[in-house]
Amino acid sequence: MHNKAFKIIIPARYASTRLAGKPLRNIAGKTMLQHTFERASLSAAESVYVATDDPRIEDSVHGYSPNVVMTLSSHQSGTDRLAEVVDKLAWDDETIVVNVQGDEPLILPEHINSVAQALIDNLEAGIATLCYPIQSGEELFDPNVVKVVRDSNDFALYFSRAVIPWYRDKFVGGNRELPTDISYYRHIGIYAYRAKVLRAYCSLPNVPIEQVESLEQLRALSHGIKIHVGLTNEQPGHGVDVEKDLLLVEKLLKQSHHE
């Protein structure tokens, strides 16, 4: 990393439709949020904060860090929560802020450093994120796997749950095999923002493509904010969405401790 510092904010909501109380669920003796916080702290960030609207999460975080900021419960997204923290702590417009999701207890510190560095290196970018090569046709056609197409300078052209680019000649007749003569990329949901972009982003109106795809980064693209998408060959750590993910992550954590 360059000497220019960056900060991390982990937005954490107690309410989760698919896994109640998700941030405070126990994995191998610690809350999921604490695992995420500790992994984030292994990055080159100068500080790591948790942003929450729930006193149970605030109390839990105080067990291992003073860096927790209470935010409004009315926020529609983690990005809105980040913007409130940036304002509350009066960070400078050029501060680089990395959004680490609270349900990523296996997040790679290298990925955090990578998105922050991309924003440092690309002055025209307002946001930086990452992608990873898609490995199978099943993954390619899975609408839960967000695909991204980049331009020749690694800036996002579009994100979609659909298969992009659509290989007209290969996908005829329902063929779902992964083509070998073109690369497809899945988006990894980690973002670095300039603080001034975070402040502006939350006042931008929603756009139809954001709503139909349910991808909030499309709002930024639609309003002309450039998103740099770096390529990593390090597979992202497994996130937690449902109950079975807790068991898998616990198994993976135990394996890593024995290696």
Give dist(CA 127, CA 145) in Å, integer.
Answer: 20
Residue 177's pLDDT is 96
Backbone angles phi, psi at 171, to 5 degrees: -95, 15
How far apart, in whole angstroms, are the C-alpha atoms of residue 195 and residue 52?
Answer: 19
pLDDT of residue 253: 81
Contacts of 147 (CB under 8 A, 6+ apart): 134, 140, 159, 160, 161, 162, 163, 164, 184, 185, 186, 187
Q: What is the pLDDT along the chain (259 residues), one digit of tens a residue?
A: 444 689 999 999 887 766 778 899 888 889 999 999 999 999 999 999 999 999 999 999 999 999 999 998 887 777 888 999 999 999 999 999 999 998 899 999 999 999 999 999 999 999 999 999 999 999 999 998 999 999 999 999 999 999 999 999 999 999 999 999 999 999 999 999 999 999 999 889 999 999 999 999 999 999 999 999 999 999 888 888 777 888 888 888 877 765 5
Contacts 24+ apart (CB under 8 A), 136-140: 136/178, 137/176, 137/177, 137/178, 138/176, 139/178, 139/186, 140/176, 140/178, 140/184
Q: Give pLDDT, residue 36.
A: 94
Contact (Cβ atoms closer than 8 angstroms) between residue 82 and residue 216: no
pLDDT (0 to 100) of residue 17:
67
Q: Are 61 and 55 in contact (CB under 8 A)?
A: no
pTM recorded for the entire structure: 0.91
Q: What pLDDT is recorded for position 107?
A: 93
